Amino acid sequence: MNDIFDMQPTDYESVIDRTGFDPDRIDAEDCDQHFAVLDYRKQIRARCSIWWRDAARVNGIPTGTIGHYAATDESFGAAALEHACRELKNRGCELAVGPMDGNTWRRYRFITERGTCKPFFLEPDNPDEYPIHFNRHGFGPIASYVSEINPAMASRQPDIGNLREKMAAQNISITSLDVVNPDNDLDGIYAVVCQSFKDAFMYTPLDRDNYRQMYAPLLREVDPRLLLVARQEGEVVGFVFSPPDLLQKSYQDQVDAIVIKTIAILPRKELSGLGRVLIVDLLKNALDMGFTTAISALMHTDNRSQKISSNCAGPMRRYSLFARELRS
């Protein structure tokens, strides 16, 4: 017989966790509720968390998210998912979305088409059976994402035509992150992110302090040549962030790929095309540093950055976010 229990971080001290979960994430990631499926030996066989208080609405529908999902087999996973959906429905939610650890600033999406390329730095991973668990228990895809790879970035780059001259005429300059006084650039990057992603699917605002806590350490650690900032009369109007694929160190001696993690531009008509110029400048820097391959990471298939990438790169992995209606 299996039982489902609400779990607090300290409860993990008295059970055997077969899913490898860090219980500190329950509080660190502001879960509204966390529970686990235990077998008769008090072993955790499945677990997940749910969020409903601050979850983004989908098309105005009260929505909850299901994250921190893991299961040792489908039957235990089904029990966790059904319990999660009941709890979200009881809280007034009409749609359950997952996997999503509360919001899109944290981990979300499942790999659904793995391909043959190895995992890359900052890429979420999951057992191949997890999307099957969701599909078989009332969930269907609600959003699709893709990562693309350009294995020959010296010869395959976006065409920018006269865009560089257009940007120069508007007093837009592109330079590396200001390492002497990075705070101004980091604040500017935060402002660009808030504006450029505000209409993105399931976007929720992130306050400046949490943004700095989550991202500033990583931004500061990346070589500034791989974090380019576009400024117009002192204002940050766009940026591209591309760390090396540090995961390559686990299977080869040389790190020869960059991961284009984020490119964002203020939503102004006159800035159209700035993203392409940023990418070309980034690729030049990366080539000068000895990199040969670029991975455009985790793009929504309707995103403008995916359209830029597809001109010179091909799909390497696909991902999906799932949803289930909770209305009777």
pLDDT one-digit tens code per residue, 97-118: 999 999 999 999 999 999 999 9
Relative to beta strand 262-265, strand 314-325 is: unpaired
pLDDT bin (cut points 50, 70, 90) of residue 236 is very high
Relative to beta strand 262-265, strand 110-113 is: unpaired
CATH 3.40.630.30 fits 3-145+321-325, yes or no: yes
Q: What is the CA radius of gyration of the chain?
A: 21
User: Token pair for residue 34?
Assistant: 């966390």
Taking CA atoms, 68 is separated from 8, 44, 230, 294, in Å, by 14, 13, 36, 30
**Of 106, 122, 126, 104, which is closest to residue 114 (Cα–Cα)?**
126
Instruction: List Cβ<8 Å contacts ≥24 apart for 198-207.
Output: 200/104, 200/300, 201/104, 201/143, 201/300, 202/56, 202/58, 202/63, 202/97, 202/100, 202/103, 202/104, 202/143, 203/56, 203/104, 204/54, 204/55, 204/56, 204/103, 204/104, 204/105, 206/103, 206/105
pLDDT bin (cut points 50, 70, 90) of residue 305 is low
In sequence order, what are the beta bridge partners of 76?
A: none
Q: Quick check: helix, strand or coil at residue 178?
A: coil
Kindly report the CATH number that applies to the domain delimited by 163-318: 3.40.630.30
Handedness of CA 131, 132, 135, 138 (dihedral sign): negative
> pLDDT of 263-299, one tens digit each?
999 999 999 999 999 999 999 999 999 999 999 999 9
User: Token pair for residue 265?
Assistant: 């531009």
- Contact call for residues 257 and 294 (beta carbons, < 8 A): yes
pLDDT bin (cut points 50, 70, 90) of residue 51 is very high
**From CA 67, how far away is CA 55, in angstroms rounded?**
12
What percent of the chain stands above pLDDT 90? 86
Q: Which amino acid type is present at position 161?
A: G
pTM: 0.94
Crossing angle of helices 208-221 and 182-196, in 10° steps, is 120
Q: Is the pLDDT of residue 53 over 80?
A: yes
C-alpha neighbours within 13 Å on the C-beta side of residue 55? 31
State residue 1's pLDDT score.
Answer: 58
State residue 214's pLDDT score.
Answer: 84
Q: Where in the chain is the domain with CATH 3.40.630.30?
A: 3-145+321-325, 163-318
State residue 309's pLDDT score.
Answer: 65
- Contact call for residues 185 and 191 (beta carbons, < 8 A): no
Q: Is the pLDDT of residue 310 over 80?
A: no
Share the mean pLDDT of the chain: 94
- Contact call for residues 29 and 106 (beta carbons, < 8 A): yes
Q: Is the pLDDT of residue 306 over 70?
A: no
**Of 318, 322, 323, which is closest to residue 124 (Cα–Cα)?**
318
State residue 181's pLDDT score.
Answer: 85
